[in-house]
A and B are shown apart, each in its own frame.
Chain A
Amino acid sequence: KQEVTQIPAALSVPEGENLVLNCSFTDSAIYNLQWFRQDPGKGLTSLLLIQSSQREQTSGRLNASLDKSSGRSTLYIAASQPGDSATYLCAVENSGYALNFGKGTSLLVTP
């Protein structure tokens, strides 16, 4: 059974800092890995999707990397802003449909 772990569970940084969120998974036979953002009381918003054959994806200030062989992914956020405050979830797709999620990293960016 795929196990997804996210470290740290919570993170507080001052505005403007660059930061890294970590995700690890136990089964490397994946279709893809996705990073989501979840705001309180709201659903999930997909940020980046990395296919199993890819090493990284970038969108604006976000960069996600994937090392399938070691079962790791990182989400890099550059020049953090208070609006980035949210919970970030890592999800791995093994079956072609069901996502296996970590518990998330709760991020607070202070002005």
Chain B
Amino acid sequence: GAGVSQTPSNKVTEKGKYVELRCDPISGHTALYWYRQSLGQGPEFLIYFQGTGAADDSGLPNDRFFAVRPEGSVSTLKIQRTERGDSAVYLCASSLYSGASTDTQYFGPGTRLTVL
């Protein structure tokens, strides 16, 4: 079956521009997560959706970052006025439930964002 997919795989943009990153979770997974992985670091949590609502967005670094999941499936991470420090790999994951100790998160291949 299809796994988590993310588009684009690579995105190069200029400082100050707006970007959108898309995540298609595994069908039927109600929970969706965004993480950011900088070079040489482990992924860092950004935001978690349960269904259509953002249950926890405490990991978003500032108000330039915003994410939506309007129909409880596809999610879009939006970054306004991009800065060079936003350059990283943005990973999306989904899971069947949340709050269960056996709930495995399945990750997509990521979008590599480069801000020039």
Range for the number of chain B residues in contact with chain A:
20 to 34
The answer to whether B101 touches A31, judged by C-beta atoms less than 8 angstroms apart, is yes
Is A28 an interface position by the 8 A CB rule? no
- Asked whether A98 and B59 contact (CB < 8 A) given A43-B109, A103-B40, A103-B42, the answer is yes
Residues of the A chain whose Cβ atoms lie less than 8 Å from the Cβ of B40: 103
A48 to chain B, nearest CB (A): 10
Is B110 an interface position by the 8 A CB rule? yes
Residues of the B chain whose Cβ atoms lie less than 8 Å from the Cβ of A89: 42-43
The answer to whether B106 touches A99, judged by C-beta atoms less than 8 angstroms apart, is no
Residue of B nearest to A36 (CB): B107
- Cβ proximity bits B77-93 to A, threshold 8 Å, 1 near / 0 not: 00000000000000101
- Asked whether A104 and B42 contact (CB < 8 A) given A42-B109, A95-B56, A97-B31, the answer is yes
The answer to whether B107 touches A96, judged by C-beta atoms less than 8 angstroms apart, is no
The answer to whether B110 touches A43, judged by C-beta atoms less than 8 angstroms apart, is yes
Segment 58-116 of B: residues with Cβ below 8 Å from A: 59, 91, 93, 98-102, 104-110
Is A21 an interface position by the 8 A CB rule? no
The answer to whether A46 touches B108, judged by C-beta atoms less than 8 angstroms apart, is no
Cα distance A99–B103 when bound, in Å?
A: 11
Residues of the A chain whose Cβ atoms lie less than 8 Å from the Cβ of B100: 96
Residues of the B chain whose Cβ atoms lie less than 8 Å from the Cβ of A31: 101
Cα distance A45–B99 when bound, in Å?
A: 20
24 contacts between A and B (CB under 8 A): A32-B102, A34-B104, A43-B4, A43-B91, A43-B110, A44-B93, A46-B106, A46-B107, A51-B101, A53-B101, A91-B42, A93-B101, A97-B31, A97-B33, A97-B48, A97-B55, A97-B56, A97-B98, A98-B45, A98-B59, A101-B43, A101-B44, A103-B41, A103-B42
Q: Contact residues of B with A, CB < 8 Å? A: 4, 31, 33, 35, 40-45, 48, 55-56, 59, 91, 93, 98-102, 104-110
